[in-house]
Each structure stands twice: as structure tokens, then as C-alpha cells.
Amino acid sequence: MCFRLEMDRTAAEKRSNLILALDLPSFEPHKLLSRSLNLLEDVHPYICAVKINRHLVLPLGLFDGIQRIVKVAQDLGLPTIMDCKINDIGNTNRVITELYYNAGFDAVIANPFVGWDEGLQPVFEMAKRKRRGVILLVYMSHEGAWEGYGQEAIDPKTGKITFQYLVFAGKALSWNADGAVVGATFPEKIEEVYAVLNKHVPIYSPGVGVQGGRIKDAVEAGARYLIVGRTITLAEDPAETAKLLSDTINRCTKKTI
């Protein structure tokens, strides 16, 4: 089953469009693995996938602790996404992608700034060969995102001046990406990207909670999946927090249907 269909299936079975970003403080590396596994065990009924960043991969090792986390997540019925923001030359991108897929990840996040030819083409080819997913980074969730993703650009199809994130949205569509990341902190950007993608490419939105993004705004603007990290991982009761967030997403989603 391809990644996009796997996400659809899991979201339906779990009745949740909440993705856990497994963000944990790195100052206790000896506790990272056990805390990660305990968190997954606690919150798995309320989430539809798990996203892992490099600040877990670096201390735990890709084919050591991370592979164990990925295996447990998948045993719990959760697809896994590697937030590696692939952004190098094609040969390097191919190797990076293959390594993460071989470690068990179901999808990787890639940065379209690097382009297609000798850039992300090998990533998409690898994904197709292994029946995995590629999610494109269209607009990030932090304040400085406008300096890159929000800069003016020439639309390669029309020759008109537009914004870089809208060009990237077009690439997500034409490259047949499995998702597009747009920060929940910028619902107006989600709305613009959704107008390009419609329902052809689902929008994944990080930034809810600690960064200030609001579930209602992101969902109404067109976000399909909400990615939440520290609001859950640093909560006194992660399971209860995840349940509350998932329920809120469901309520907001029903109002938009």
C-alpha cells in the first residue's frame, strides 16, 4: 500500500488526524529511547502517525535506537515520517533517502529549494520503487520562514511574479508528492496553498501549541493533518493532551465538511 493510502487508512481507523512529533529534550540522551517508547505507548490510541526529527537520530543512531522506535510505532499501527528536510545534490539525496527507508521509515520530508534535476528526482524515484512517501516542505512554521519560502519568485509556467511557497505548492502537485508541509502558524498560507493543491495533495501543518498555531484556523484553512510535538511530549499527561487535541481536530474537521 502506498504511503498516502496508508495515512488515509490509519487516520480512519484511529479516528484521528493528529501526528505526534516525537520532540524530546536532548540533555538526557540516556533516557531518550525509553521516554520515546513510553510516549508512544501512552498516546498511540489518539494519533495517526509519528514524525521523528534529527535531534533524536543523532543521539540514538539510525539503525539502533531509531529503528527500534520505528518498529514499535509500526507495531502499534502508526506510519512513520522522517523529518530530514532532504536538500542536497541528487546522489547524496538518493543515499539519504534509501538509508531512512531501509531503517523502516514510511516517508521522508524533502526541501523543494534543491529542484528536480539532479536534486529531488532520485528521492521520488526511490520512493516509487520502495512504495514509500515523499512530503514537500512548502512553508515552515517559524517567524523567519518568509525570508526564503515567502520571497518573491517567477512562476515558471506563467512568467508572472508570485511567492516561492506557491511555486513549491505547484511542484508538490506536478511532482505528485504525498503531502505538503505548511505551518499552522500561518493559516493564510495554508489557504493559499490549498487553493493550488485542492484535495490532490494533503497538507501537513506543524506549529500547533507551543509555536502559537491554532487547530481551528489551520483546519478551516485546509490542513488535513496537524503535527504536534512539545505540547504533547512535555505535557504532564501526554495521553490526555493528545486525546484533547485529536478530539478538537475532529470537531473542527466536521464543521468544514
Whose cell is 520532540? That residue is 23
Concatenated DSSP letters of 188-249: HHHHHHHHHHTTSS-EEEE-BSTT-B-HHHHHHHT-SEEEE-HHHHTSSSHHHHHHHHHHHH
φ, ψ for residue 211 (rounded to 5)?
A: -80, -10
Instruction: Judge whether 85 counts as a catalytic residue.
Output: yes
First to last CA, the chain: 26
Catalytic option among 85, 130, 216, 243: 85
3-state secondary structure of 87: coil
Give 15's contacts (C-beta < 8 A, 6+ positions apart): 246, 250
Which residue numbers are catalytic? 85
